[in-house]
């Protein structure tokens, strides 16, 4: 896989060494067990997979190269480059300006743009409608496009499903930039509906079975269906794709549920299923799959609590938080600054969508065991800072440098 040149401020020699040793010993990615780092009174288990994915590395490298190559031009990002505050803050410091916020609200009018301006499309991609608006201002939306290839793969899958006369169901968050982009590209080809979760899939089943009226459908799924969507006719043939950062288990559950509803409603034999339900696999990106599998591996460890780092608006990170929270106390933080002290932590409540403060998050015991991971848009430098900050709360701990060196020597010698 292609390697990228990432700005030094986002890298970590310490974390990079751990990743490289794990990569060399497990090139086929079959081992999802975490890396155990024993500092004495503190034991940290670091997830097997975490941090910048292919799409993020591509977007970050491209953005910084564009800045360097265009010193005399105004440079704009369509919205946040990725869902990480450290990366976006640094881009702003370098003079890059955002045209929209993450919800699509305008921060700078497109009419202020001119042909000489640089507009970078972020890793999430963008809608056909936004492309058209930019093109009217003389902006070539493909000149500085960092759309993740795995997102484009979803668009291609939706396009293929649609051209085979299926309606596309998108499992995703309706307000997320990526889902909006996928919805836009899909609805240009075929009727398209976004559903948030299994509960909405179960609501949809009533309309597949024609148990409720079209008017009730439009009310129930307001803002989630394409123009002209007719539930009386457009739910007879379905295909499912998903936002690339959703939980794999959630998407699979939705696919299996809707497939069974279709089979039961139309009384289909196994060889007739594709007449009404497209034979599609989930469209998660490799990093989402790897990170989720590694989190399941991480959760095999009995620990006192988990720390998950990333931007609060990062979908893939939020899902890792949810996975961990099912088993043990979990704290969603964006940086080491959130670890205020050994007693105090500021973290994000993933359910209430609010930042809160908690106390006594580190238990008073001789040996504290912590699980540590982060999302696909979190720099390795942030994980190193969190690790060092955590260790600093235990005065009798061995230093991270010594622990990692000893860990390397043990593995290399084995």
Strands 238-242 and 167-171: parallel
Determine the topology of domain 149-275 in CATH.
Cobalt-precorrin-4 Transmethylase; domain 1 (3.40.1010)
Q: What would the CATH number be for the domain defined by 8-53+286-413?
A: 3.40.1010.20
From CA 309, how far away is CA 177, in angstroms rounded?
A: 21
pLDDT number for residue 196: 97
Under 8 Å between Cβ of 376 and 309 = no
Helix, strand or coil, per DSSP, at residue 288 = helix
Structure tokens, 11 = 């890298």
Whole-number pLDDT of residue 3: 60
The residues, any chain, with a CB within 8 Å of residue 393's CB and separated by 6 or more, are 42, 339, 341, 342, 362
How far apart are the C-alpha atoms of 33 and 316, rounded to whole Å?
Answer: 20
**Three-class secondary structure of residue 190 per DSSP:** coil
pLDDT for residue 389: 98
Whole-number pLDDT of residue 138 = 94
DSSP secondary structure string for all residues of 124-176? T---HHHHHHHHHTT--TTTTB---HHHHHHHHHHHHHHHTTPEEEEES-TTS
Phi, psi of 224 (to 5 degrees): -115, 0
Place of tokens 């299994």: 198
Q: Is-contact 261 205, C-beta < 8 A?
A: yes
Per-residue pLDDT of the chain (414 residues; tens, 9 = 90+): 556 677 888 899 999 999 999 999 999 889 999 999 999 999 999 999 999 888 888 888 988 999 999 999 999 999 887 788 888 889 999 999 999 988 888 999 999 999 999 999 998 999 999 999 999 999 998 999 999 988 999 999 999 999 999 999 999 999 999 999 999 999 999 999 999 999 999 999 999 999 999 999 999 999 999 999 999 999 999 999 999 888 888 999 999 999 999 999 999 999 999 999 998 776 778 788 899 999 999 999 999 999 999 999 898 999 999 999 999 999 999 999 999 999 999 999 988 899 999 999 999 999 999 999 999 999 999 999 999 999 999 999 999 999 999 999 988 766
The whole-number pLDDT of residue 96 equals 92
111 in Cβ contact with 404 (< 8 Å): no
Q: Would you kindly state where each structural domain of the chain is located, as residue ranges?
A: 8-53+286-413, 54-136, 149-275
8-53+286-413 and 149-275 in the same fold: yes
Q: Which residues are catalytic?
A: 178
Query: pLDDT (tens digit, 9 = 90+) per residue, 21-68?
Result: 999 999 988 999 999 999 999 999 999 999 988 888 888 898 899 999
Helix residue ranges per DSSP H, 267-346: 286-298, 315-325
CB 212: neighbour CB atoms within 10 A?
15
Fold of 54-136: Rossmann fold (3.40.50)
pLDDT at residue number 4: 61
Q: How many Cβ atoms are within 10 Å of 107's Cβ, its own excluded?
A: 11
* 67/57 Cα distance (integer angstroms): 16
Whole-angstrom Cα distance, residue 82 to residue 88? 7
pLDDT (0 to 100) of residue 283: 75
């Amino acid at each position: 896989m292609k390697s990228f040149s990432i700005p030094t401020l986002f890298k970590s020699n310490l974390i990079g060494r751990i990743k490289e040793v794990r990569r060399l010993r497990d090139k086929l990615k079959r081992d999802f067990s975490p890396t155990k780092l024993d500092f004495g009174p503190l034991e940290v288990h670091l997830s097997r997979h975490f941090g910048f994915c292919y799409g993020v590395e591509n977007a970050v490298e491209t953005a910084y190269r564009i800045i360097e190559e265009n010193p005399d031009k105004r440079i704009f990002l369509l919205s946040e480059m990725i869902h990480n505050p450290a990366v976006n803050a640094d881009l702003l410091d370098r003079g890059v300006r955002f045209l929209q916020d993450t919800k699509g609200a305008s921060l700078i009018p497109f009419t202020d743009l001119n042909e000489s301006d640089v507009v970078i499309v972020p890793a999430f991609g963008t809608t056909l409608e936004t492309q058209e608006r930019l093109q009217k201002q003389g902006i070539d939306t493909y000149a500085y496009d960092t759309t993740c290839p795995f997102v484009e793969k979803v668009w291609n899958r939706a396009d293929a499903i649609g051209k085979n006369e299926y309606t596309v169901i998108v499992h995703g968050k309706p307000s997320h930039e990526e889902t909006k982009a996928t919805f836009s590209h899909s609805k240009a080809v075929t009727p398209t509906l976004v559903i948030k979760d299994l509960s909405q899939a179960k609501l949809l089943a009533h309309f597949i079975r024609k148990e409720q009226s079209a008017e009730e459908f439009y009310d129930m799924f307001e803002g989630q269906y394409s123009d002209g969507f007719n539930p009386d006719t457009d739910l007879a043939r379905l295909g499912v794709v998903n936002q690339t950062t959703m939980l794999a288990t959630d998407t699979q559950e939705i696919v299996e549920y809707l497939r069974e509803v279709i089979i039961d409603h139309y009384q289909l034999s196994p060889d007739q299923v594709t007449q009404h339900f497209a034979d599609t696999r989930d469209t998660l990106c490799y990093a989402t799959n790897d990170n989720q599998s590694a989190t399941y591996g991480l959760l095999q460890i009995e620990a006192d609590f988990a720390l998950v780092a990333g931007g609060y608006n990062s979908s893939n990170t939020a899902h890792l938080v949810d996975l961990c929270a099912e088993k043990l106390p979990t704290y969603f933080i964006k940086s080491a600054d959130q670890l205020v002290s050994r007693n105090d932590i500021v973290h994000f409540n993933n359910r209430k969508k609010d930042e809160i403060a908690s106390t006594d998050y580190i238990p008073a015991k001789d040996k504290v065991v912590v699980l540590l991971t982060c999302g696909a848009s979190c720099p390795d430098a942030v994980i190193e800072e969190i690790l060092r900050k955590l260790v600093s709360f235990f005065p009798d701990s061995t230093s991270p440098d010594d622990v990692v060196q000893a860990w390397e020597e043990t593995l290399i010698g084995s």
